[in-house]
Amino acid sequence: MSGAPLLPFLSACLRRQLLLAFRRPLEIANPLLFFLLVVMLFPLGIGPDPRQLAEFAPGILWIVALLATLLAAESLFRVDFEDGTLEQLLLTPQPLYLSCLSYVLAHWLLTGLPLTLVAPLFAVMLQLPPPALPALMLSLLLGTAVLSLVGSIGAALTVGLKRGGLLISLLIIPFYVPVLIFGSGAVQFAALGNSAQPQLLVLGGMLSLAIALAPFAIAAGLRISVDAG
């Protein structure tokens, strides 16, 4: 494999992650079910008034998407850590950066992308104005990718712990806050008839920075976890 081109190596790693994930369909469905249940419960908590629902809709949708992404992050490296695959991965001559990027991409394809695609349906349930739907989808498309990259750092650092879910939350949620602010802000601006471009550009900048730096942090976290294990 040492002589294999980098792009086919990344493709092979991604294909493997997706195949393993599809063998555990319940884990794929959990974030979507969580998203659905929480969005359905919010109107019961804050009342059925359409104007009030529309006012809170951007924050509700973004907070639930954030928590759903975090819910799926805990098990990202767990199976490969337990069966020794991660240890073998660290010994391969191929760049660990690409392997980590394949994990993150698989996580986003199975969580962030489905959440983005179903978000307009839930937005309609929360009375979000139709002109805000494109901004909602674009912000989620960019923001959930950042969430996957940052969440994977916490997953890598805690993969060796039996109950790392709470620790991931404590480590990662502070870094999620800027994404939440600009993501929900983009939807709010669009709902008021203003341009969401500034917020979307900031999210794009966050994504570019996360793609460049996060895989290195994930690789370092995996080395620490494997050595400690």
- Which pLDDT score, from 0 to 100, does residue 2 have? 45
- Which pLDDT score, from 0 to 100, does residue 3 have? 41
Which of 32-41, 136-145, 155-164, 188-197 shows the lowest mean pLDDT across its residues?
155-164
Cβ neighbours, 10 Å, residue 194: 12
Q: Is pLDDT larger for residue 70 or for residue 26?
A: 70
Q: Is pLDDT larger for residue 170 or for residue 177?
A: 177
Instruction: Give me the domain span that covers residue 118.
Output: 12-228
- Is 128 in contact with 54 (CB distance < 8 Å)? yes
- Which pLDDT score, from 0 to 100, does residue 166 have? 72
pLDDT over 70, % of the chain: 95
Please indicate, yes or no, if residue 1 is contained in any of the structural domains: no
Global pTM reads: 0.89
- Which pLDDT score, from 0 to 100, does residue 168 have? 78
Is the predicted pLDDT of residue 55 greater than 70, yes or no?
yes
Q: Region 134-154: what's the mean pLDDT?
A: 94
- Which pLDDT score, from 0 to 100, does residue 133 have? 94
- Which pLDDT score, from 0 to 100, does residue 10 have? 80
- Which pLDDT score, from 0 to 100, does residue 142 have? 96
Task: Tell me 94's DSSP state.
Answer: S
Alpha helices in 108-160 (DSSP H): 113-125, 133-158
Please indicate, yes or no, if residue 99 is contained in any of the structural domains: yes
Confidence of residue 163 (pLDDT cuts 50, 70, 90): low
pLDDT over 90, % of the chain: 44
Please indicate, yes or no, if residue 2 is contained in any of the structural domains: no
Please indicate, yes or no, if residue 5 is contained in any of the structural domains: no
Confidence of residue 164 (pLDDT cuts 50, 70, 90): low
- For the CA atoms of 47, 52, 55, 60, what is the dihedral angle to 10 degrees? 0
Indicate the number of domains in the chain: 1
Please indicate, yes or no, if residue 3 is contained in any of the structural domains: no
Please indicate, yes or no, if residue 202 is contained in any of the structural domains: yes
Please indicate, yes or no, if residue 27 is contained in any of the structural domains: yes
- Is 67 in contact with 73 (CB distance < 8 Å)? no
Tell me the C-alpha distance between 11 and 152, whole Å. 19
3-state secondary structure 171-192: HHHHHHHHHHHHHHHHHHHHHC
Which of 6-15, 102-111, 149-158 shows the lowest mean pLDDT across its residues?
6-15
